[in-house]
Amino acid sequence: MIDINLIRTNPDLVRENIRRKFQDRKLPLVDEVLELDARRRALIQEGDALRASRNTLSKQVGELMKKGDRAGAEAIKAQVKANAERLLAIEKEAEEVEAALKKAMMAIPNIIADDVPVGKDDSENVELQRFGECTVPEYEIPYHLDILESLDGIDVDSARRTSGQGFYYLTGDIARLHSAVLTYARDFMIDKGFTYVIPPYLIHGDVVSGVMSFDEMENMMYKIEGEDLYLIGTSEHSMIGRFMGQIIDGAKLPLTLTSYSPCFRKEKGAHGIEERGIYRIHQFEKQEMIVVCRPEESAEWYEKLWSYTVELFRSLDIPVRQLGCCSGDLADLKYKSCDVEAWSPRQKKFFEVGSCSNLTDAQARRLSIRYKDSDGKIKLAHTLNNTVVAPPRMLIAFVENHLQADGSVTIPEVLQPYMGGKKTIVPKN
């Protein structure tokens, strides 16, 4: 949510930002906000005037009664009563206006960075850098499910019977590899100075509406029936929610946190054939990075965060690239975002394995996350998040890039201690 003062002072900038995001349907919201804001301020002014007059009128009643002017006193009492009724009406209308204003404000997207490429959707995202050599072996790379099944590492048929589409059982060495990658990623981030956190996996609705847009919530979140609780789609949700309504000691900033959690997503919509298997699923596990910092620090942290994901993947001998997200592909709260994509030698193209975002103060404004600076002033913090690793997609990149001609999968040296010294996973089927 952007600062309402920006809409008051520079509505044309806000409108142009909406156009850059190809959300022209939201242009009327700017005028709606201005009208609601003007009405809200008028109601506040009228209410303050009525409250200020209450004491004055009460004194007048006392003075008139002392003089024996009962008729005059009754007339003033009638005015006091009318004012009180009007004040109640003002307070009720003010609540309605405030709710409508908040709803409109939350639908207006955050101002995006000047260097964000303008484009309608993810097809217009821009490659920024590549890391590692993208090779294609002479032998065939099977579909990732076929590779995992040959290693006796996955059972999707049983999962369909127990849970439906979008679930799976991992078994044997592949299940161990899954855990090894997460544990390695945890230690990788701890070595970067991040504090390890295991957060709650369910959050209240006010946290959900604070961390994402309504459309995102509808398409992603599972709600617990009969309760104000949602299963998290990523640990970012509960990690940022942790600071809701808080005033953080500025001396403790930046807060650099890395969190583990299972993640639950509806994943609504149809997807292409290469997104079958375990590319898009309803339940997975992930290691995340979260930063809460001063505004002047967020640009530098953004660059650090995505580079950590690149460094981790390269330490596992997986080629990756950084892809700048265009304006139309940015969620409403995002100021700037990029994806880290891993090389698929089977598809001969890259696919997303992580996403890094700087939300500036938009998320903090929704959740009232503030800090007290050294000068004693209370200011809004900036929030950032980034995927360290999400093993379902990491497993696809891992087995494709480490598959050998005999069907075995090699384990990079940095991961071998987490695999009990195992250097290779060999086919069973």
Residue 161: count other Cβ atoms within 10 Å of its Cβ.
9
The region, left, alpha or beta by phi > 0 then psi within -120 to 50, assigned to residue 402 is: alpha
Residue 34 pLDDT:
97
Task: Determine the Cα–Cα distance for residues 184 and 344; give it in Å rounded to an integer.
Answer: 22
**Long-range CB contacts (< 8 A, 24+ apart) of 94-97?**
94/40, 94/43, 94/44, 94/47, 97/36, 97/39, 97/40, 97/43
Asked if the bond preceding 319 is cis, omega within 30° of 0, the reply is no
Domain limits, the chain = 4-107, 122-425
Tokens of 234: 């990523």
Tokens 């946190």, residue located = 257
Identity (one letter) of the amino acid at 423?
K
Residue 61 pLDDT:
64
Tell the CATH superfamily of the 4-107 domain: Serine-tRNA synthetase, tRNA binding domain (1.10.287.40)
pTM: 0.89
Weakly modelled stretches of the chain, pLDDT under 70: 59, 61-62, 214-215, 268-276, 429
Tokens of 429: 């089927």
Residue 273 pLDDT:
44
Task: Determine the Cα–Cα distance for residues 262 and 91; give it in Å rounded to an integer.
Answer: 44
- The separation between CA 374 and the C-alpha centre of its own chain, rounded to angstroms, equals 29
Half-sphere exposure of 333 (CA within 13 A, CB side): 26
Task: Determine the Cα–Cα distance for residues 241 and 243; give it in Å rounded to an integer.
Answer: 5
In this structure, the strands spanning 126-131 and 230-231 are unpaired
**Long-range CB contacts (< 8 A, 24+ apart) of 250-253?**
250/294, 250/371, 250/372, 250/373, 250/374, 250/379, 251/374, 253/292, 253/293, 253/294, 253/297, 253/371, 253/381
- In which element (H, E) is residue 341 found? strand 336-344
**Angle of helix 172-191 versus helix 298-315 axis, rounded to 10:** 140
CATH classification number, 122-425, choose in 3.30.930.10, 3.40.1390.10, 2.40.30.10, 3.40.50.740: 3.30.930.10
